[in-house]
């Protein structure tokens, strides 16, 4: 029997299925409200940086939508091997695709290699508590009715873990933060329809390959209605979408560096006493 390679990891994403879902969503009318919100947020953040970027690149699975938001950027697909040249860009935006990457560190590292010295990497993707209400309801319903559990919602990275990816990829001055959003839907069917229209359906490699009984979804819908009703309209359900933003810079000698441990000239206790005295 042939043993697996030591670093072999089973694929998280069925990429052909993901691409089909994206194409279907775009062809039938992409639900892009969260994409536009993310793009606006990135534009706001870039506007606060006192610098003009002259060679931007954009990595995304939705090139037309994001290309309109950043018309000066070179747009490339979020393939496992990115079409990026070393040192070619001073800004790379990884847009709403990193959560589907089997190797997110590899994606960021490829972007890091394509940055010029002191170039900026900024990513936005789903993470945190995204769809935790739906995940819990489906799990409770399926376990209760079948005694088993199938992968249905993509695992979401916690912000602390996702922030650590920046440093592991070789970027400096890492920052990670999130923008939580609540969305209201008539019911679970309405939510599922919107997820498909966002290109965010179940494209996990380990997903169940046979139809799920209607009773599971009916039970999950009842759980959602009971435990996750919209506060403003209890006849509807509410779910969470967390947009996680990751920022890092290509290392440069001009960037601020942390002080060497033990090099402080003032004790923390003395500094706190001075603050208390002034207030």
Q: What is the mean pLDDT of residues 128-148?
A: 95
Confidence band for 3, pLDDT divided at 50, 70 and 90 = very low
Mean of pLDDT over the chain? 91
DSSP 230: -
Q: Does residue 252 have a pLDDT over 70?
A: yes
Q: Where are the alpha helices (DSSP H) in the chain?
A: 15-28, 33-47, 63-69, 104-113, 132-146, 159-168, 188-197, 214-227, 268-278
Least confidently predicted of 56-70, 78-92, 260-274: 260-274
Q: Is residue 274 part of a domain?
A: no
Lookup: tokens for 97: 């695709």
The rounded distance, in Å, linking the Cα atoms of 220 and 213 is: 12
Q: Is residue 150 part of a domain?
A: yes
Residue-wise pLDDT tens digits, 19-62 = 999 999 999 999 999 999 999 999 999 999 999 999 999 999 99
The rounded distance, in Å, linking the Cα atoms of 84 and 76 is: 8
Q: Is residue 19 part of a domain?
A: yes
Q: Is residue 173 part of a domain?
A: yes
Lookup: tokens for 101: 């990457």
Instruction: Tell me how far CA of residue 54 lies from CA of 25, 89, 119, 228, in angstroms.
Output: 32, 8, 11, 46
The rounded distance, in Å, linking the Cα atoms of 56 and 40 is: 16
Structurally, the chain folds into a number of domains equal to 1
pLDDT score, position 60:
98
Q: Is residue 270 part of a domain?
A: no
Q: Is residue 197 part of a domain?
A: yes
Higher pLDDT, 253 or 274: 253
Q: For residue 115, what are the β-bridge partners?
A: 89
Q: Is residue 259 part of a domain?
A: no
Q: Is residue 111 part of a domain?
A: yes
pLDDT score, position 1:
40
How many residues are listed for the chain in this entry? 279
Confidence band for 253, pLDDT divided at 50, 70 and 90 = confident
| Range(s) of the domain holding residue 233 | 15-253
* Residue 118, domain CATH: 3.40.50.150
Claim: this prediction has a pTM higher than 0.75: yes
Confidence band for 129, pLDDT divided at 50, 70 and 90 = very high
Lookup: tokens for 44: 């706001």
């Amino acid at each position: 029997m042939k043993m697996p390679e030591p670093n072999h990891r089973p694929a998280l994403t069925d990429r052909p299925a993901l691409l089909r879902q994206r194409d279907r969503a775009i062809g039938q009318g992409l639900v892009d409200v969260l994409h536009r919100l993310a793009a606006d947020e990135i534009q706001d953040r870039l506007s606060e940086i006192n610098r003009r970027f002259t060679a931007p690149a954009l990595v995304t699975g939705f090139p037309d939508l994001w290309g309109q938001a950043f018309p000066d950027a070179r747009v490339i697909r979020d393939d496992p091997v990115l079409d990026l040249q070393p040192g070619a860009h001073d800004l790379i935006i990884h847009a709403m695709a990193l959560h589907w990457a089997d190797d997110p560190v590899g994606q960021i590292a490829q972007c890091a290699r394509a940055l010029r010295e002191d170039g900026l990497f900024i990513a936005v993707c789903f993470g945190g508590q995204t769809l935790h209400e739906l995940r819990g309801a489906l799990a409770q319903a399926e376990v209760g009715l079948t005694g088993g559990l199938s992968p249905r919602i993509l695992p979401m990275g916690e912000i602390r873990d996702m922030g650590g990816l920046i440093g592991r990829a070789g970027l400096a001055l890492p920052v990670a933060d999130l923008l939580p959003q609540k969305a209201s839907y008539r019911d679970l069917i309405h939510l599922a329809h919107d997820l498909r229209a966002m290109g965010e359906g179940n494209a996990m490699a380990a997903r169940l390959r046979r139809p799920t009984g209607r009773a599971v979804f009916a039970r999950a819908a009842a759980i959602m209605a009971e435990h996750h009703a919209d506060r403003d309209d209890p006849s509807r359900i509410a779910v969470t979408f967390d947009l996680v933003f990751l920022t890092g810079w290509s290392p440069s000698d001009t960037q601020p560096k942390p002080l060497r441990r033990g090099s402080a000239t003032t004790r923390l206790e003395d500094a706190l006493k001075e603050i208390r005295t002034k207030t």
